Amino acid sequence: MTVFGATGGTGQHLLDQALAAGHHVTAVVRDPARLRRADHPGLDVVTADAMDPEAIRESVAGRDAVVSALGPRSKGDTSVCGDGARAIITAMRATGTRRLVVVTAGGHVVDDGDGPFTRAVVKPLLRRVLRGPFADFVRTEEIVRAGGLDWTIMRPPRLTDGRSRPYRTAVDRNVRGGIMIARTDLARAVLAALADPATVGHTIAVGR
């Protein structure tokens, strides 16, 4: 598999777990020095701009799956997820690679999985505070859905660096009361979705 965003909080856990499970992983990064497992025999490290389809084409060619765990590095990064998804999908379509899992978030979505307080108070507040990132997530999901690939969108709530704990998932709706999840558990959920054909064409919400 190929992982974008491999030096981020979730991406590092995803690499650790995928390598421990015996997967051969290609990590596409800007700064290889930020990888803590760079010398692992099952890991290929490619330094490239994830926003450039030509630069990443060989990194996705022939892979059984691609994961995007791209995320903003600062408040000013309000297009990185959508721009990255567009470039990745372009490269995948050019090489015939079809399986794609993209991590966005659950905060921008209000649906039947949310309780009354979350719908009326929490989500509207989050949309005001995180207007830029949430707009990027909306655009990312539109791009992924229109990309013509075998996609799954993962929607976590607030991410923490806590220890692994049991978590819940919901298909095409938010997890009731799932207000947070550890990054290590989000990585577990991503790998589980990759292995489950039933998740193709669906959003998977995760939360404790």
Instruction: Please tell me the total count of domains within the chain.
Output: 1
Which range has the top average pLDDT, 130-139, 168-177, 181-190? 181-190
Do the beta carbons of residue 98 and residue 61 sit within 8 Å?
A: no
Give how far Cα 69 sits from Cα of 4, 60, 100, Å.
6, 15, 11
pLDDT of residue 124: 60
pLDDT of residue 128: 62
pLDDT in tens, 143-165: 999 999 999 999 999 999 999 99
Q: What is the CATH number of the domain that holds 95?
A: 3.40.50.720
pLDDT of residue 1: 96
Q: Which domain holds residue 82?
A: 2-207
Give residue 109's pLDDT band: very low, low, confident or very high (50, 70, 90): confident
- What number is the average pLDDT over the span 20-43? 91
pLDDT of residue 71: 86
pLDDT of residue 119: 61
Give residue 85's pLDDT band: very low, low, confident or very high (50, 70, 90): very high
- What number is the average pLDDT over the span 19-47? 92
